[in-house]
Amino acid sequence: MDRLFQNHRIRARQSLEGLWEFGKMRALSTDGLAESIDYDYKLAVPGCWEMHPQLLTYRGQGIYRRSIYIDNTAHVRLLFKGVSHTAKVYWDGQQVAEHYNAYTAFDTTIMNVEPGAHELCVEVDNSFGQHSALHLPNDYYTYGGMIRPVIIEILPLQSCSIQWVQFTPIKEDWTTDEEGNWQANVRIALQSHADHDIKGHIQFELSPLQQSTLWKQQLPEITLKAGQYLEFTHTFTFSNIQSWSCEHPYLYEWQTLWYQHQSNTLELVDDWVERVGFRTINTYEGKLLLNHQPIVLKGFNRHEDHPMVGASFPIALMVQDLELMIHTGANAVRTSHYPNDERFLDLCDEYGILVWEENHARGLSIEDMRHPQFIEQCEQVNREMVTQHYNHPSIIIWAILNECASDQEEGRVHYQRQLEQIRSLDHSRPLSFASHHRENEICFDLADIVSFNLYPGWYGDEDPGELCDLARQWADQAGGKGKPMIMSEFGADGFYGYRSPNRVKGTEERQADIIESNLRAYNERAFISGMFIWQFCDCRVTEEGIWPMMRARTQNNKGIVDGYRRPKLAYEVVTRYFK
């Protein structure tokens, strides 16, 4: 399934995991689905097509197809958690959805579906070109396929469905509030699918995991007009709450229930279950505060990439990554450079691993940012990232535009616009972006946390401590004074198995030395609120562009474990510093 808990108990839903037919397309169809496609392959969904022995490097378009049987007339909601990178969805030959970007979910509801067999086709495109501002040849791989789970939901005809629920824990005053007293601001959206007025009410319930209900409240009855969409907000107060922290990642279930009047009875028609945690995150006098206490983030940049599965992770491999990170003593992960599979975020909630989640962009120059689709495609990924992942207590920072043109006035306009957009969607989390512009950075005043990607010892010979002190000065002079500072990337290449007493660049020894000198420097500095090693695991890079010439083995080799998660020498070093 798509989550690690049952996020609907009432709504009928099923995973569309399995073997789908697949055919390569010769050209993109412009007016509907290509008729003449040969379905030569069978591919796993979820999965990347690069896992098929004949599609190892395929870049282009293809169509996935399967049939779906519907028992009774109903509205059918299809939820795609991630299609890489562009999808067009066809139901019985009619296009019902289109979506750009591999790393955020989208859905579509097909109304009044008749009983019987139906054909579902998804046209998928992972090509680079004018249609794509964010997926382009890069220092990570853009896989092809339906890389994350696909779900079908059956919505009753004359009813309403809960569209989303946003739960914001609040503790106004940590010094005077009783420990277990919390508030939460809850926003929800309802969509009527009925062709006449319907009446009902919402009920909320809060329960510690696997335990009986701690608190519930029923809202007054409401009437929804035919097809009406309604959003509303409430604030609630709770007592006897255990807060969420890294040491005690205490989770609660927040259930939203829709009870509807149906011919003189009240029926439970729809539900939406979220797992929430009570914690606060904010910045104060140069520190990052989790539950009012200063915290230093220690962790890794992680690409969702594995030689066995590409970007399409089963949970066993996600758990393996988290166990390895936790074993080093890490308490944080940065989802470089895109929103992650929600099951990974569910795991972080459960393990108490803090997450810096960022939108999808890496190393875009000002020319790249002038792409005609750039504004719109970024706006969409920001909105989808924040609204879809809003309830994860583990996410404590939203970030944007890794190493883009934040050193230029023209670039600044985009940073400002995007940070304002995210703030308007969520004012409960601090914002940042990772910069490599050193003294030329001009956007630190716009963010809540200043973050530097510097590679002392690798790309340059500077001393990490001296460079870090200099970076603090650059930040202070560029509008970052009084803001927490994070070393968002540092590291070095280390080719797995390449060991030599001469410790030259590329050996595991040299990688370990460089990472050690960085960690030592950052641990000694009280103004550092976080350090993220580049990177957790080696990852594949694109064959297009400059990357194969820059990256031996067409891989970014800076992982402290290799692609297969075999620890390099640096792993032990990190463990000494993080523990």
3-state secondary structure 234-246: EEEEECCCCCECC
**Secondary structure (3-state) at 255:** strand
Closest among 185, 343, 159 to 254, alpha carbons compared: 185
Cβ closest to ligand ADA, residue 395 vs residue 404? 404
Query: Burial of 160 by CB count in 10 Å (0-12 exposed, 13-18 middle, 19+ buried)?
Result: buried
Task: Label the pairing between strands 229-238 and 252-262.
Answer: unpaired
Q: How far is the CB of 446 from ligand ADA (least distance, A)?
A: 19
Cβ closest to ligand ADA, residue 20 vs residue 490? 490
* Tokens coding 325: 């990170």
Cβ closest to ligand ADA, residue 1 vs residue 366? 366
Cβ-closest position to ligand ADA: 139
With a CB cutoff of 8 Å and minimum separation 6, the contacts of 442 are 406, 407, 408, 409, 412, 478
434, β-bridge pairs = 451
Cβ closest to ligand ADA, residue 20 vs residue 534? 534
What phi, psi does 533 have (nearest 5°)?
-70, 135
Would you tell me the crossing angle of helices 374-389 and 342-351 to the nearest 10 degrees? 40
Cβ closest to ligand ADA, residue 200 vs residue 310? 310
Cβ closest to ligand ADA, residue 166 vs residue 488? 488
Q: How far is the CB of 483 from ligand ADA (least distance, A)?
A: 20
Cβ closest to ligand ADA, residue 256 vs residue 542? 542
Cβ closest to ligand ADA, residue 46 vs residue 494? 494
Give the binding site for ligand ADA (CB under 6 A).
139, 362, 402-403, 436, 453, 489, 534, 556, 558
Q: How far is the CB of 548 from ligand ADA (least distance, A)?
A: 14
User: Where are the extended beta strands (E) located within 308-418?
Assistant: 332-334, 354-358, 395-400
Q: How far is the CB of 403 from ligand ADA (least distance, A)?
A: 5
Cβ closest to ligand ADA, residue 350 vs residue 403? 403
Q: How far is the CB of 550 from ligand ADA (least distance, A)?
A: 8
Cβ closest to ligand ADA, residue 322 vs residue 434? 434
Closest among 115, 108, 119 to 74, alpha carbons compared: 115
The CB density around residue 361, as the number of other CB atoms within 10 Å, is: 27
Q: How far is the CB of 536 from ligand ADA (least distance, A)?
A: 12
Q: How far is the CB of 157 from ligand ADA (least distance, A)?
A: 48
End-to-end Cα separation, the chain, in angstroms: 34
The CB density around residue 518, as the number of other CB atoms within 10 Å, is: 26
* Tokens coding 263: 């011919």
Q: How far is the CB of 71 from ligand ADA (least distance, A)?
A: 48
Q: How far is the CB of 246 from ligand ADA (least distance, A)?
A: 25
Helix (H) or strand (E) holding 531: strand 528-533
* Tokens coding 1: 């399934």
Q: How far is the CB of 362 from ligand ADA (least distance, A)?
A: 5
Q: How far is the CB of 398 from ligand ADA (least distance, A)?
A: 17
Cβ closest to ligand ADA, residue 125 vs residue 493? 493
Closest among 141, 171, 158, 144 to 227, alpha carbons compared: 158
Q: Which residues of 404-437 are buried (b: 16+ CB within 10 A; e: fewer)?
A: bbbbbeebbebbeebbebbeeebeebbbbbbbbb
Q: How far is the CB of 452 from ligand ADA (least distance, A)?
A: 10
Cβ closest to ligand ADA, residue 382 vs residue 402? 402
198, β-bridge pairs = 224
Helix (H) or strand (E) holding 421: helix 409-425
Give the sheet arrangement for strand 287-290, strand by strand: 281-284, 287-290, 293-294
